Amino acid sequence: MAKKMHDTPMLDKLESGPWPSFVTGLKREAAKKDIMVDLLGQLETSYKTKKGYWKGGTVGVFGYGGGVIPRFTELKDEHENPVFPDAAEFHTLRIQPPAGMHYDTATLRKFADIWDKYGSGLIGLHGQSGDIMMQGCTTANVQPAWEEINAMGFDMGGAGPALRTSMSCVGAARCEMSCYDEAKALRTIINANIDDMHRPALPYKFKFKFSGCPNDCVNSIQRSDMATIGTWRDNIQVNEQQARDYMKGHGMDKLVNDVISKCPTRAITLRNKADAVTGDSISTVAVDDQHVMQIENHDCVRCMHCLNVMPGALLPGKDKGVTILVGGKSVLKIGATMGTVIIPFMKLESEEDFEKLNEMSRNIIDFFAENALEHERTGEMIERIGLVNFLEGLDIDVDPNMVNHPRANPYVRMDDWDEEVEKANERKAAA
Amino acid sequence: MAELRAPDECGVPDPMPFMHPTLRENYGKWVFHSHPKPGVLYHRAENGTEVWTVKFGTARQLDGYTVRLLCDLADKHADGHMRFTARSNVEFMVTAESKVDPLIKELNSHGFPVGGTANSVSMISHTQGFLHCDIPGTDASGVVKALMDELHEEFIKCEMPNRVKLSTSCCEINCGGQADIAIIMQHTKPPKINHDLVANVCERPTVVARCPVAAIRPALVNGKPSLEVDEKKCICCGACFPPCPPMQINDPEHSKIAIWVGGKNSNARSKPTFHKLVASGLPNNLPRWPEVAAVVKNILAVYKADAQPWERMGDWIDRIGWPRFFEKTGLPFTKYHIDDWRGSRTTLNASTHIRF
Ligand code: HEM
Ligand code: SF4
Ligand code: SF4
Ligand code: SF4
Ligand code: SF4
């Protein structure tokens, strides 16, 4: 039994209604734990005054420089004593989940038991970067809790100017759009660079994210410094039975309005069977006895729309790989930026392919570590130095897929134009 | 003191031992999916193996009782496995269609809303707020609870033109991320500086360097080293607050809530887009933020009535144009909707493309 609950009239109002209530959960823990009784007291105060009362500090585990988010209360009485002493320390341990956030119940029960023993019992599943957030722990309990979690085979996530916990989509585990082994890519890269997660020494945070296809279910373009996104080079695969099923279920107007006219590059044409065109880059599928749908794959930008609307009827091609984009981040300090293409396509199947990706990731982190200013993200660094300097630093060739359109202003020195043309010709010859 | 154990730097765990066996056995071999009903996904592998996924919402911040309840339900219905989505929904996988309805019934009986698939409004991706952040202007879990209560019907049904993703952020740093509708704390007054504390707790050059508009200067105040802010320059972004808590940016009265729309992460149809400001000045009205809920619900209702199938919020606005977005939603268009930050001219209409 814990101590008496504080009155929480504001929070009580968040217990009614159809959505699961976190307040009800906090109260269940408060029935057992003083730390949660006082956490509710502080939270209610925040609701009343519209002010936050946490400050950071330094709390960590032996051997690591990051991964614990320290929280000390600033809500003090006139003698500088915490108003809610049992929640005066309320730290979070960020723990990396299995790639794709798959669990068996034995593991989750063990987390719940450990957090009953050492913490507030409150587990956030998951943070926006993908961490298991074990929330609410005293300074003294951080180390023993961590040792038990670590003994389960789980490792701490990132915080501060460090490599951060990564995310991959469900992908190959349960999605026909998946173009590579997302979990393997995530584990290859994160585990090879784990030192940069545990010992923060980068200019600022660095995030990798992995999506199996351009639907980008883990928001990698906007939320990661390096996005690895599945794609393919050859023709969209078709399945006539599924296409006919779609047509039977939806009809011609849906096919035209929902699929064909919403293709962003007008790569899809509906034709009478007799007028069907042929060619190496054309995917053709009959939708009924009279009509075929034809995709000019050179025009297709792999946006995923038609595959999403006609699942199973249209599938990614067989020559799969990934596109790499660099520089996505949120608002601070120059405004949100999206990742931009630096590798339009690379294969990601063999061990050597994964090793190549791993090497490139390492090079990018190293370049970032050496060239970014303090508290500058990759996207900001590229904005400051220009994409070309970044590419040259990494020895990556320029490619027209990297731009929306070529330069539209003449403000540039082009002294060695001829040499650059020579290089372009060499690249062409080598391709 | 007991011997400290050196960490086992084991890194990201291999998901295979944790994964539902049917997913593991058919890894990379899926060929078809469909949406049998709201909250349920059907997937088929190339060898004909079938799996049904039941998706449901949680409070994200889970107490031990809820974690164990989820485990009990997964043991009973779903072979002892589950996975979480990036938006904190839970997915139970079952291998026979007959197992779907009993599972849904039991989840509902415990208050878990089944939904969030296909063209529904999914769970709001959100941040930490008063519960755990050191710089929040408002709460996160509470905003989400209040809004998801209001949007519950849209979560458990699939009646939107396309999927709708929401986010909330308790400061302008926007940890919640880009979304079809994003709800973000917006400060409207420069930080009030607690000069007594600056000298002790702030590394002044760091704070000065953080400001995106160079509005902060070192200064001597009452003979002590402190900082001063050029209030005309200050854009109230709050960037100075994390490194220097005496730069009090949170203002219980003047920190307001803004609504942004049309962000999209996916590459489907259009390229990914950032959300755009449509409303601001909404009060931070705890514990249920009714004014914010009203604006969000109104935007959703107009979108639902007006967008074509498969148009995301941003696709819809691309078709009808911003003037009609403001007209249809009744939201006022002000001078603050016109960007004046770096690169803003590319956001202006340099054409005669005007809809009447
Ligand atoms: C000062 C205190 C801050 C706190 C307490 C805080 C808290 C958090 C938390 C708890 C998460 C989720 C983490 C996880 O998944 O493990 C998060 C994610 C995030 N934070 Fe913060 N944050 C802070 C500062 C910042 C700053 C300064 C920025 C940007 C300049 C920022 C941008 C983000 C972004 C973009 C995400 C989502 C990342 C993703 O999806 O991968 N945060 N933050
Ligand atoms: S990003 Fe693509 S492959 Fe990954 S889960 Fe989403 S749709 Fe599937
Ligand atoms: S995937 Fe290709 S063909 Fe299909 S809608 Fe997108 S661009 Fe068009
Ligand atoms: S959005 Fe701001 S206040 Fe909210 S968790 Fe992120 S940094 Fe903290
Ligand atoms: S709020 Fe932003 S603009 Fe204003 S002084 Fe602080 S960092 Fe500078």
Residue-level pLDDT at B287: 96
- Spatial contact of A132 and A126, defined as CB atoms under 8 Å apart: yes
Global ipTM: 0.96
Largest interatomic CA distance in chain B: 78
What pLDDT score was predicted for residue B53? 98
pLDDT at A389: 97
| Whole-angstrom distance, CA of residue A128 vs CA of residue B203 | 29
Q: Are A299 and A265 in contact (CB under 8 A)?
A: yes
Instruction: Please work out, in degrees rounded to the nearest 5, the angle formed at the alpha carbon of residue B148 by the alpha carbons of B70 and B172.
Output: 110
More confident residue, B110 or B222: B110
Higher pLDDT, A192 or A1: A192
Chain A residue with Cα closest to B52 = A174
Overall residue count recorded for chain A in this entry = 431
The DSSP string of A306-322 is HHHHSBTTEE--SSEEE
* Protein residue with its CA nearest to atom 5 in ligand 2: A171
φ, ψ for residue A218, nearest 5 deg: -105, 20
Average pLDDT over residues A287-307: 98
Rama region for A266: left / alpha / beta (φ>0; ψ in -120 to 50; rest): left
The reply to whether ligand 3 has any atom less than 6 angstroms from the CB of A305 is yes
Please give the pLDDT value at position A331: 84
Q: Which residue of chain B has the CA closest to A107? A: B18
Q: CB A179: neighbour CB atoms within 10 A?
A: 26
Task: Choose the mutation target among A35, A125, A168, A186 for the interface with B, i.e. most B CBs under 10 Å.
Answer: A125
Residue A172 alpha carbon, nearest atom of ligand 2: 3
pLDDT above 90: residue B300: yes
The residues that bridge with A125 in the sheet, in sequence order, are A132
* pLDDT range class, residue B349, cuts 50, 70, 90: very high
**Which listed ligand is nearest to A174 at the C-alpha?**
2
Query: Is residue B1 predicted with pLDDT exceeding 70?
Result: no
B227 lines ligand 5 (CB under 6 A): no
List C-alpha distances in Å: B3 to A234, B6, B130, B309: 58, 9, 36, 62
Ligand 1 pocket check for A130: Cβ under 6 Å: yes
Average pLDDT, chain B: 96
Helix axes B313-320, B290-306, angle to 10 degrees: 60
SS3 B36: strand
- What does the pLDDT read at residue B2? 61
pLDDT, tens digit, for every residue of A232-267?
Answer: 999 999 999 999 999 999 999 999 999 999 999 999
Q: With beta carbons under 8 A apart, name residues in chain B contacting A304.
A: 266-268
Residue nearest atom 2 of ligand 2, based on CA coordinates: A213
Chain B residue with the nearest C-alpha to that of A130: B86
Q: Which of A206-210, A301-305, B208-212 has the lowest mean pLDDT?
A: B208-212
Distance CA B187, CA A45 (A): 21
**Chain-chain contact of A52 with B135 (C-beta, under 8 angstroms):** yes
Q: Provide the pLDDT for residue A334.
A: 81
pTM to 2 decimals? 0.96
Q: Which of B156, B169, B89 is nearest to B121 (CA)?
A: B156
Is the link from the previous residue into A423 a cis peptide, with omega within 30 of 0? Answer: no
Scanning A174-203 for CB atoms below 8 A from B yields 174-176, 178, 181, 183, 186-187, 190-191, 194-195, 198
Other residues' Cβ atoms within 10 Å of the Cβ of residue A117: 12
Give which of B257, B259, B253 is closest to B275, Cα–Cα. Answer: B259
The pLDDT value recorded for residue A271 is 98
Interval B79-97: pLDDT, tens: 999 999 999 999 999 999 9
| A320 pLDDT more than 90 | yes
Q: Can you tell me the mean pLDDT for A78-83?
A: 97
* Reported confidence tier of residue A431, pLDDT bands at 50, 70, 90: confident
Residue nearest to atom 2 of ligand 4 (CA): B171
Interval between CA A293 and ligand 3 midpoint (Å): 12
| Atom from ligand 1 closest to the CA of residue B134 | 5
Q: Does the pLDDT value for residue A327 go beyond 60?
A: yes
Q: Residue B56: pLDDT band by 50, 70, 90 thresholds?
A: very high
